Structure 1
Amino acid sequence: MKICWVTPFVLRSSIGRVSAEVAKQLATRGHQVEILRCEDQNDPAEPLHPTALPVHHWRAYDLARLRAEFDVVVVNIGDNYPFHAGVFAILDAAPCLGIFHDFYIYNLFSGWLYYNGLDYRRHDAEIVATYGPAAQPHAVAVRSGQMLDMGEIAQHLPMTEWLAGRCEAALAHARFYAPKLEAACAGPVAVTPLCCPDRATPPGPPKAKSQLTLTTVGVMNPNKRVADVIQALGGSEALKGCIYRLVGPISDEERARLEALAAEVGFANLVIDGAVDDETLDRRLDEADIMIALRKPVLEGASGSACEGMLSGRPTVVARAGFYGELPDELVFKVDGEIVVEALRATLERLVADAPLRFKTGQAARAWALENLNAARYAEAVEALAEVQVTSRPLLAVGRRIGGELSAMGLAEADPAAARIGATLQRLFAPLPQ
């Protein structure tokens, strides 16, 4: 197949890092692959992920070529408009296979409105078109500031279906949000674990030491629940001697808030690194004894930081919710999705006290991650879905035509005749036996 792989590709993008590895694997499997960058701007000063494949930026590319020259256009969709601004024009230009890295893409939707100068009327119209008239009060509440909690917005207006309906096929990284894609995408939908390439210099087993290090990596926003961890550490004599290290971008406001909380609860070993390069991240993973990858609310389809924790061979603490809840119970340490501080404290105390448990679980988690989160396995899953997408096109084309005619005749969507016609089309277009 000739594949156009659409992705942010600047070095800062974790989706770009995954894309570089998966695109390479697809090329190794015999496909012709080109990378089409979808960042809003093409900044020549921004370094890109290394690749031997052709790379273009969507603003300098004739998008009409997508339909004419490629068998499959794979679009990586995340909740960051500056990184994904080009996906809208690309979805309009050709039938696409959408990879939904986040199940909550309201921020992408909001950015699309803002950068295109669209007002509240378009905001409400898109939400009603996606979820029906009953969603109008939620649309008004969120744009007017009455609904500010991200968990509540994710419950009512994740906007996943908004773009899934514009895709010919869709890929999820966890089962919990696959039904949203299936409800909106007319074509095939598949689920496969996130690809998380192993690092070139993976850390070895944690070294024996008297002072253990607990580590959280990624962008330090409030839904990472770092404050809950600090409260758990500060309220336990068994944990106060540990180091808690934060590795990843953090705002000055969030840094000050967390430092003030640590002082308030009497926890003196908070270390905030901020943003770091890959070499420093490797070193911090090597120094870690326990990885903490909590989320509330869960907004992403999968978590790179949780996958990194498992690949590092460290015991990893997660919430029992969304993608995290689907990880094998024996490979991670789950706390309730509500993240009760007392329960979190008990889990951490258990891990700090039991070195053999930490080592055994960490090694098992790394073995599982190496087998399930690698680029070769992910490329195979994308390839399989793309093949189903291509072979489904005649069925989808006929279905759209007949559906339009039935709708014009006034046949309701829930009419039993519609189900019978759909089943007949499925039989007519079923693959021939090999």
Structure 2
Amino acid sequence: MSRQHPGIVVIHDINLHYLFTTLFPKYFEQGSDRDSYAAIMQQTHGTMCQQDIENLFQNKLTWSTISERYPLTFAALENALGVIVHNQEAFATFEQEQRWPVLYTPLPYPSTPLHPVNKYSQLKQAPYRLIVFGHLGGEHRRVQVVLEALSMLSEKSCFHLDIYGEVWDENYVSGLIQKFGIKDLVSLHGWVDETQLDSALANADLAINLRYPTGGEASGSQLRIWSHALPALVTRIGWYASLPESVVAFVRHDRELEDIQQQLRSFLANPAKICRNGEKRVNKSWQKNTVQHCTLREWLNLLRMLRILRAIF
């Protein structure tokens, strides 16, 4: 978009590789999508990435490895007049370049939860409802790892996992559910409307919102989780890594199976306490994070952006 219409670009995360692969859905096949993908990789990261691209297409390198090595961050900023970011890592990256005015502002959300949060006035009992939802467009959403971790848990019968959203390969995911022997513990709901999703979130006990690598987003799903005051598991990466531990429970990307199981066991040890504490922590977080303080440098950067736009239009 910035190539055709110069303006201010909002960057949620510095790894945009997944975002760009969605523009070339057939990039793994011979043809124009592959050529366009290779071209934007070399334009952004130089010819040094050519061998890795070939290794990717020959299945000698994984997509996650390529994504981490070549995040395609700056491909989104061609002709950009300014940048707005939602995490400090991205702010530092763009400030160091000194090519654009950069403004950091926390991802905005309402100052009070959008939905009632007194769900635990009565003690709930197993099976507890786990929920994964949103755009499940690839393995980076870690659905396959959640399924494996649940299958390995000796207390797995204490949970039921609901998956909302179109998965990238339903046959593959259904096959994993069958392979892991958890058909009775998992429900694939596919796409549902907003009302149904809100109802599911209102009845859920724990949200699982993992990503590795990140897909270039600060999570709208996470904001929705907070609006229901749900406790949530997130990967300690990108924007999510900047969240305080008082608001989310972290899963390390290199210890996923171990950490997911540990977090589920911690939940079982005292589910009511975790959920009630989750409500309190999230409510405090609303107040803390919606009061956004800009430094003098950030205000100056914003003024620079406005002056540039004014000169153009």
Do the structures match in fold with TM over 0.5? yes
**2: CA distance, partners of 1:248 / 1:121:** 30
* Amino acid corresponding to residue 244 of structure 1 in structure 2: L
Q: For residues 174 and 145 of structure 1, do their structure 2 counterparts lie closer, same or farther at Cα, with a shift above 3 Å needed? A: farther
* Amino acid corresponding to residue 282 of structure 2 in structure 1: A
Contact 1:113 1:123 in 2 (8 A): yes
- Structure 1 residue runs of 5 or longer lacking an equivalent are 1-85, 395-434
**2: CA distance, partners of 1:205 / 1:365:** 13
TM-score, length of structure 2 as denominator length: 0.79
2:55 pairs with 1:138: no
**1: CA distance, partners of 2:212 / 2:283:** 25
**2: CA distance, partners of 1:279 / 1:137:** 48
Higher relative contact order (CA 8 A, sep 6+): 2
Question: Residue 198 of structure 2: SS of its match in structure 1?
Answer: helix
Partner of 1:162: 75
Cα distance, 1:158 vs. partner? 1.7
**2: CA distance, partners of 1:200 / 1:318:** 20
Partner of 1:257: 175
Partner of 1:364: 281
Counterpart among 155, 164, 172 of residue 85 in structure 2? 172
**2: CA distance, partners of 1:226 / 1:161:** 29
**2: CA distance, partners of 1:319 / 1:114:** 26
Q: For residues 228 and 180 of structure 1, do their structure 2 counterparts lie closer, same or farther at Cα, with a shift above 3 Å needed? A: same
Cα distance, 1:180 vs. partner? 4.2
Partner of 1:243: 160
Partner of 2:200: 284
- Structure 2 residue runs of 5 or longer lacking an equivalent are none
Count of residue pairs brought into register by the alignment = 299
Q: For residues 293 and 198 of structure 1, do their structure 2 counterparts lie closer, same or farther at Cα, with a shift above 3 Å needed? A: farther
**2: CA distance, partners of 1:296 / 1:180:** 20
* Amino acid corresponding to residue 178 of structure 1 in structure 2: F
Partner of 1:152: 65
Partner of 2:188: 272
Cα distance, 1:113 vs. partner? 6.6
Q: For residues 205 and 216 of structure 1, do their structure 2 counterparts lie closer, same or farther at Cα, with a shift above 3 Å needed? A: farther
Partner of 2:238: 322
Contact 1:291 1:309 in 2 (8 A): yes
* Amino acid corresponding to residue 10 of structure 2 in structure 1: I
Matches within 5 A, 1:8-407: 86-91=1-6, 96-110=7-21, 124-142=38-56, 144-146=57-59, 149-182=62-95, 186-196=99-109, 202-207=115-120, 208-211=123-126, 212-220=128-136, 221-250=138-167, 251-263=169-181, 266=182, 268-354=184-270, 355-369=272-286, 372=289, 386-391=302-307
Question: Residue 99 of structure 1: SS of its match in structure 2?
Answer: strand
CA RMSD of superposed structures (Å) = 3.6
**2: CA distance, partners of 1:113 / 1:230:** 29
Q: For residues 159 and 260 of structure 1, do their structure 2 counterparts lie closer, same or farther at Cα, with a shift above 3 Å needed? A: same
* Amino acid corresponding to residue 101 of structure 1 in structure 2: H
Cα distance, 1:357 vs. partner? 2.6
Question: Residue 157 of structure 2: SS of its match in structure 1?
Answer: coil
Partner of 1:430: none
**Alignment deviations for residues 154-202 of structure 1 (CA, whole Å, 9 cap, x no partner):** 2222211122242121122222333443455612122223234589951
Partner of 1:25: none
Question: Residue 221 of structure 2: SS of its match in structure 1?
Answer: helix
Identity of aligned residues (%): 21
* Amino acid corresponding to residue 176 of structure 1 in structure 2: E
Contact 2:18 2:215 in 1 (8 A): no
**1: CA distance, partners of 2:11 / 2:134:** 19
Contact 1:203 1:282 in 2 (8 A): no
Contact 2:8 2:83 in 1 (8 A): yes
* Amino acid corresponding to residue 3 of structure 2 in structure 1: F
